[in-house]
Structure 1
Amino acid sequence: MKKVFLITISTILIFLFVIGMWITGTYNQLVKLNENIKTQWGQVETVYQRRADLIPNLVNTVKGSANFERKTLHKIIEERAKATSTNINSNDLSQNQINKFQKVQEEFNNSVNRFLLIVENYPDIKSTQNFYELQNQLEGTENRINVERNRFNDKVNNFNIYRNQFPKFIIANFFPQFKEKGYFQSQIGSKKAPDVYFHNNE
């Protein structure tokens, strides 16, 4: 009887140990995947900030033109301020928060594109070396934004697939930091970042 009792206790302890190891392994993997997302989110914020940092230089380049539309300058400055003041907590990258961030950035991007299209009507501005270099940097930054967003979506995909598998989602649901993450989504009718380079018409 005592032997049966010891075997039963041993079996239970081994079972609990195995379960404990599995829970620990699942938790640690969730931590790793979650940290990968947060790191990549930092990269996304960096490239968006780089774009925002280029705008004051572009604005200053065209300010010297006495007949350039002041309303356009004010609008792009306002949109930049809105975009740079929108901060998302890296511990809450839900779909709702990503959509909020993306909406503000897309409005800013549209404002930048309108600004650059208007500059087309000012060949004396767009032909300057300074504006040309800034324009190229902006184009490169737009491409980089697209790359970093895709990498972010890949990290989110890896995390969401892992955390939503049974029975791992049971563990994930005990911890608020392991909620399902949101994706960047393409604008309707858009498959890539808008082009912001110019074609010489001279």
Structure 2
Amino acid sequence: MKSAEPTPQRGPTVGRGSRMRAAVLAATITELTETGYAALTVDAVAQRAGVHKTTIYRNWKTSDGLVADALAHHFATDIPIPDTGAVKDDLRALARALVATMTTSAGRALLTTALSDTARTPQLAEIKRALFEDRFRRAEPVVDRAVERGELPTDTDPGELLKALVAPIYFRLVFTGEPVDETTADRAVDVALAAAHAHALPTP
């Protein structure tokens, strides 16, 4: 009697739908952190996520599309929007959360990815623009509530105030390489609020 052939061993599987999507996006972020954008491959993401690469190609037509989706998902959920009842505390919480996120190894790697190859990859350039727009839009209630409480001038533009808040942080992260910590965040808050109260920010 002929013995039965051994059953081929398959890698781990995460199923379909939202569970599969979450696993693939998380694996993409990890690969970006560990190997960088240039070295990322769909094969490596599939192996890490526990799915077949055909599953990835079926849901994301290109590796750039996969990276763009992973970045959008990550940056949309990494910084919660505070509501402390005081604008200075809200902005401090926002700025400190940004610093905490972007100074991790993962945050630096993802920032590098978001800023790289944008000329060659229009999809990543569009995602970068959309990410900042989404972050400012989600944070607008912080400024709107402060205006309603009388803590900020009525002509304060939420987007311009938030740009003034994050600009010193990103300038150090991207250009000068200077240390970025909670002191950096708190000073950014003071500068942004001073500009708002001096009516030095562009108005709508």
- TM-score w.r.t. length of structure 1: 0.29
RCO (CA 8 Å, sep 6+): is it higher in 1 or 2? 1
Q: Quick check: which has more Rg, 1 or 2? A: 1
Q: Which has the higher helix share?
A: 1
